Every structure is written in C-alpha cells, then in structure tokens.
Structure 1
Amino acid sequence: MSDNENQKQGRCGYVAIVGRPNVGKSTLLNHLLGQKISITSRKPQTTRQNTLGIKTEGEIQLIFVDTPGLHSNQDKAINRFMNRSAESAIRDVDVVVFVVDRTIWTEADEKVAEEIVRSKAPVIIALNKSDRLEKKSDLIPQLQNLSNRFPEAELIPLSALHGQNLKELEEAIIAHIPEGIHYYPEDQVTDRTQRYLVSEIVREKITRQLGAELPYEVAVEVEEFKYQGKICHISALILVERDGQKKIIIGEKGARLKKIGQQARMDMERLLESKVMLNLWVKVKRGWSDDDRALRSLGYDE
C-alpha cells in the first residue's frame, strides 16, 4: 500500500491558539484534546515553543498550534525566539483562535491583535474565564471593542479551565477546516517527543513551586532517557543563570528540589505509563537566555 493510500481523506487543517502571555492558551488546548500535552502555570512565559496538539475524530483532523504569548518590551534572545514562533504560527494556519480575557485588554493584547490583522486566516475570538463574571453585562465593553477591531470574527465566551462552551468553539473551528488528507495517524496527539514532554513536566513543576520567586532564566535539558526492563530512567539538568537561583531551586537541605522531583515523577509515570526513576541536578549556565547559540543547543530552534 502506498503512502497516499495510507493517508486518510477527509478534512484537515491547522488552528493557531494565540494570545498574550498567561491568558489560558495551553489550558484551552489541553481541554480541547482531552489530555495534557502543554504545561500550564499562573506565570507568564510558561509556553516557550510552538507545540502541536492533534485531534482526530472521524473524517476531521484538527492540528492545534499552542503558541508562546507574544511579548512587548522584552528584548532577550529567548523573548525574540518566542515572538518569532508565535508570529510564524499566525501566518501559516487555516484558522486563528484569539484567546482574550473576558474584561481585560492590555498592551500585550494589542500586539497580538496587530499580528492577527496581518494574517489572512479567519479569526475566532475566545473570551476566556467568562464563568467568573457576576453579570453578563460586564462583557459588553470587551465585546464592543473586539467587534470593532474584528468585525468578521466570531465571538465565543468560554471557560478553558472548566470546559464551558468548548463544543461551540470546536464547531466554529470545523466550519473553516478545508478538505484534504490527514497529516497524522489518528492515534497521534502531539508532534513532540516523550523526551521533550518530560523536560516540560520538570519545568512546569519548578514554575508552580516557585511562583513569584522563579527567575525566567530556567531551562531543563534531559541528559538520559532510557528503559531498563519496565523502568524508565530519566536524568535531567535544570539550568539557571545565577548562583542565587540555584539555591532557590534546591531549597533548604534539598527539600524543594526533592518536591519538584516527586511531583514531576508522578506526571511522568502517567504520561509514559511506566515506573520512572528520576534524577535532577541544578547547574549555573550564565547568560543562556540571551545567547542564540545556547538557545539552539537547548532545542530552541526555528
């Protein structure tokens, strides 16, 4: 059987999920897929690279692109990389889902809106966290603002976290998906490797543990990923930029690093459906977040 005969005919298209940092894009993707592939936290800049989430139901395959939030007024190499990733996704898709907060509009939202205007793709606006409104009338100023900016866009109030109105969002997306072959097997849910997903799990636990203390200059590099019998052995290096940051992550007598490792291992075992032996180290690598070569070595490439 040829490759073309293997590929299922139907409808297939790319959907960019865009918005300012920390507006709920990754949470929305995870709930649309019905499983977790993008890490989440309350801290901006949690997502750093475009991640594909693939949902196949019958003849329809939706390929969601979870993008980093677009940043303004930040000029480190890693911020430039994240902006390029998000901007490229907006240009090359069949539908753009613009996630905004139900009542808040910021300079960062403005930057995303400017990028979307350059895209030729149809736009669906997801007003996130709408379940938290005391009165529906509180939505009116934001709805008017968005209708003026995107007169042809469909506006859907929803809650990514609680799964409200996601069916309506999905139906609106499907209306714009073209006919074509499916690019991925129907059981595949992401383009990312297990090794990458494991590194992201560690980064999520660091982000959630440290909250406001966390420096942006944290990266995770998986140095070992191998199965021995029924156990997966994983060794990961946590990179920071200063000695003080290293101390924060390790914590008093190693307590914080131990807790990060315990939480990460539990998620890894769910992901891999296997027992995991996890070793974490923390290392200072000065200036990595503003060094293009260091970023490439850590997998931040185009």
Structure 2
Amino acid sequence: MGLFAELRDSVSRVTASLFADDSEPKRIGIYGPPNAGKTTLANRIARDWTGDAVGPESHIPHETRRARRKEDVEIERNGKTVNIDIVDTPGVTTKVDYSEFLDHDMEKDEAVRRSREATEGVAEAMHWLREDVDGVIYVLDATEDPFTQVNTMLIGIIESRELPVLILANKTDLDDANIQRVSNAFPQHETIPLSALEGENMDEVYEKIAKYFG
C-alpha cells in the first residue's frame, strides 16, 4: 500500500503541475544584507503600482524581523505585464548582536528581544529562499563591500535553485557609491544601479523585472 500511495501522490503532483494556473502571481523575494534598502525598494515598488506601502522603513538595523508580503503587484513595461507578490525579507547575516540595538538608545531588555526576533527572521528568510520564492531581487548597498561570505552564500543558493535573479546596486545617491564594485562581485549576473530612496532609475528596474520575472 505504501508503494501505491507514493505512486498516486507522485501522479497527483505531476498532474497539478501540468494544469497549474500560469496567471498566479510569482513570489519575488527581496533579499540582501541588513540596511541595504530592501524595504525602501519594496515600498517604492508597491506605492508606484498599488498606492500602498509594504512596511516601515528605518535606519535601525534589522527593523524588518519578519517576512512581509504585498500581493498582486501588477507591473507593466513595454507592453508586457507581470503580476508578482513582493516578499520583503529580513536582512541575512551570520550574527545578530544585541549591542547593535544599544547604539540606538534601546534598553538592554529591548535590545536582547529584538536581536532574538532578528535571528528568527534570518531563519525565516532562508526558509523562503529555499522553498517558497520564484525569483529574487538582490539588493546591495553600493557604498559597502559586496565581497562577503553572506552575499556569496545567498547568491550560491539562488543559483543552485536556478532562480531568476536581478542584482541591484542601491544608494547611488550617495557620493561614495561604487556601482562597478558591485558589478565585479557577481559578473555572471546583470547589475542595475538605482536609488530606491530617491526613485532614481526605477524605470529600468521595472523593465528588468518584467524581463526576468515575466
């Protein structure tokens, strides 16, 4: 009976995939290190196409401690329409230290609580990446060195899952932004410069979203 049950389940999965509704929105995860501007970008996209925000923005690290989803964002560029769900994920890092929050005038108890929540958020972000997203927008702060263990690991996971990925060099409005350094870090992928805060170069970002995720 076990063998027949496995066979039946296998046939069911194949049948479901054959008749899956292609009109279902694709889940696009916004990934990157803490404070790269992921929520700022998610809010920019959501406001431009739906009028609503995804979540609060903050200069405090790990402000996004749970994945937040904005559904049915319809983007149209050059006659092509793509329907996506935006998943704004917590910044991924190898360590969350409560002392980071103390630097922002928090009491120790609050800092410890937030660091614990941020650590759980990292685990949730990794779960989404391994199981539940159909593509990735990878946001990097163009003023920071992109050659990090976390960035290399995440890009490796994205590539192992063969997910379409768009790398964005964010914060080009800052004087010390270095777009070429981001491009050199992952030359196998196209890098698009932008300022999510100022809305600079968002037209190209939308064109690439329609191209990569449509």
Q: Tell me which interval the TM-score lies in, with the shorter structure as reference length.
A: 0.5 to 0.7
Aligned-pair CA distance for 1:25: 0.4
TM-score norm. by structure 2 comes to: 0.67
Q: Please report the RMSD computed on the Cα atoms of aligned residues, expressed in angstroms.
A: 2.5
Residues 99-158 of structure 1, C-alpha deviations (whole Å, 9 max, x = no match): 101131268x53143023112212211100112237x8x4323321232xxx1x221000
Which stretches in structure 2 are left out of the alignment for 5+ residues?
1-20, 98-114
Q: 2 CA distance for matches of 1:42 and 1:29?
A: 15
Q: Greater share of strand residues, 1 or 2?
A: 1
Percent identity between matched residues is 29
**1:165: how far off?**
1.6
Which residue does 2:68 correspond to in 1?
51
| CA radius of gyration, larger in | 1
For residues 58 and 37 of structure 2, the distance between their equivalents in structure 1, rounded to whole angstroms, comes to 9
Unaligned runs of 5+ in 1: 1-7, 179-302
Structure 2 counterpart of 1:73, from 54, 71, 95: 95
Counterpart residue number, 1:170: 206
Aligned-residue offset at 1:32: 0.5
- Cα deviation for residue 57 of structure 1 reads 4.8
Alignment-derived partner of residue 29 in structure 2: 16
Matched, 1:63 2:63: no
TM-score in terms of structure 1 length: 0.49
CA distance in 2, matches of 1:67, 1:94: 14
Once the two structures are TM-superposed, the CA of residue 93 in structure 1 deviates from its matched residue by: 1.6
C-alpha distance in structure 1 between counterparts of 2:181 and 2:117, whole Å: 35
The alignment partner of 2:213 has SS state of: coil
1:27 aligns to 2:67 (yes or no): no
Number of residue pairs aligned between Structure 1 and Structure 2: 164
Matches within 5 A, 1:90-239: 90-91=129-130, 92-105=132-145, 109-119=148-158, 120=161, 121-133=163-175, 138-147=178-187, 151=188, 153-177=189-213
Residue type of the alignment partner of 1:141: R
Other-structure match for 2:56: 39
> How far apart in 2 are the matches of 1:146 and 1:130?
18
Cα distance in 2 for partners of 1:11, 1:167 equals: 24
Q: Which moved more, 1:155-164 or 1:56-65?
A: 56-65
Distance change >3 Å, CA 142–CA 116, structure 1 → 2: closer
CA distance in 2, matches of 1:96, 1:167: 18
Question: Contact 2:164–2:213 at 8 Å: present in 1 too?
Answer: no
Secondary structure in 1 matching 2:212: coil
